[in-house]
A and B are shown apart, each in its own frame.
Chain A
Amino acid sequence: MRIIYETEEGGVAVIIPAPECNLTIEEIAAKDVPKGVSYHIVDASEVPSDRTFRGAWSWE
């Protein structure tokens, strides 16, 4: 799973949970997403693996 949110600069940040972490994805989102920022929990397969234009990613 991945947590996606839009950054202040207009880009997209992707949170990758640590496998050894004993927190749920929701707990990680509550802790690691900046306060007041909305986010989305998606499957890792929904995040592009081609990072050639990483800076141009957007969330729809």
Chain B
Amino acid sequence: MSTVKSSSEDLTLNADGSGNDVVIQGNGTNTATITAEGLLKYNSGYGSVATAYGCRAWVNFNGTGTVAIRGSGNVSSITDNGLGDYTVNFTTAMPDANFNVVGMVCATSDGNKSSLRGISLYGPASITTTTARIRTMNGINTAAYDAETTSVSIFR
């Protein structure tokens, strides 16, 4: 086995020159690439080396009682605007407002695990480069609803 190692300082892989990528191969096959433009591409079971689009921000919070964040990444805070109305505030802004918002809500306090709950963006202008405003609701009558678990992820 051969090992590339640096014990005392950062290890730099430098594909010097315009347009040159850093390529990792296994058995002569390209398995991962970091392009000159900064795109990370890998196989990891895709069957081909493709760009990985990462989760750029996420938060899991309790929207009931004393609203509290359980865990987060690249989120500075959430704003409790009202019943079932929250804004996720990003620590580092997105490059544009065309990102993908994914959310789930769960209510367990009522003991009815089949209860239908919903989550949506607050409106057409509810996402900016620094925020995503969401609405959580009763999935049957769409009334605003605070859920014990609300999780939101931002992909781009």
Which segment of B35-43, B66-74, B112-120, B135-143 sits at the interface?
A: B66-74
Q: What residues of A have a CB within 8 angstroms of the CB of B82 in the complex?
A: 11, 13, 54-55
Q: Are A16 and B69 in contact (CB under 8 A)?
A: yes
In whole angstroms, what is the CA distance A3 to B89 when docked?
13
- Cβ of B153 within 8 Å of any chain A Cβ, yes or no, is no
Residue of B nearest to A11 (CB): B82
Give the residues in chain B near A32, CB-CB below 8 Å.
76-77, 79, 89
CB of A44 within 8 A of CB of B66, answer: yes
User: Is the pair B61, A16 in contact by a Cβ cutoff of 8 Å?
Assistant: yes
Residues B49-74 near A (CB distance < 8 A): 59, 61, 64-69, 71-73
Q: Which of A14, A18, A20, A23 contacts B80 (CB 8 A)?
A: A14
Q: How far is the CB of B118 from chain A (nearest CB, A)?
A: 18
Q: A7-B81, A21-B91, A51-B146 are in contact. Are A31 and B64 (CB under 8 A)?
A: no
- Answer yes or no: A47 CB below 8 A from chain B CBs: yes
What residues of A have a CB within 8 angstroms of the CB of B91 in the complex? Answer: 18, 21, 23
Number of A residues with CB within 8 Å of any CB on chain B: 23
User: A34-57 CB contact bits vs B (8 Å, 1 = yes)?
Assistant: 000000000010010111001100
B65 touches A51 (CB 8 A): yes
- Whether the pair A18, B76 counts as a contact (CB closer than 8 A) is yes
B38 vs chain A, min Cβ distance (A): 24
How far, in Å, is B19 (CB) from chain A's closest CB? 36
Interfacial chain B residues near A18, Cβ < 8 Å: 59, 69, 72, 75-78, 91
Within 8 A of B (CB), among A6-38: 7, 11, 13-21, 23, 28, 31-32
Chain B residues packing against A (C-beta within 8 Å) = 59, 61, 64-69, 71-73, 75-83, 89, 91, 130, 146
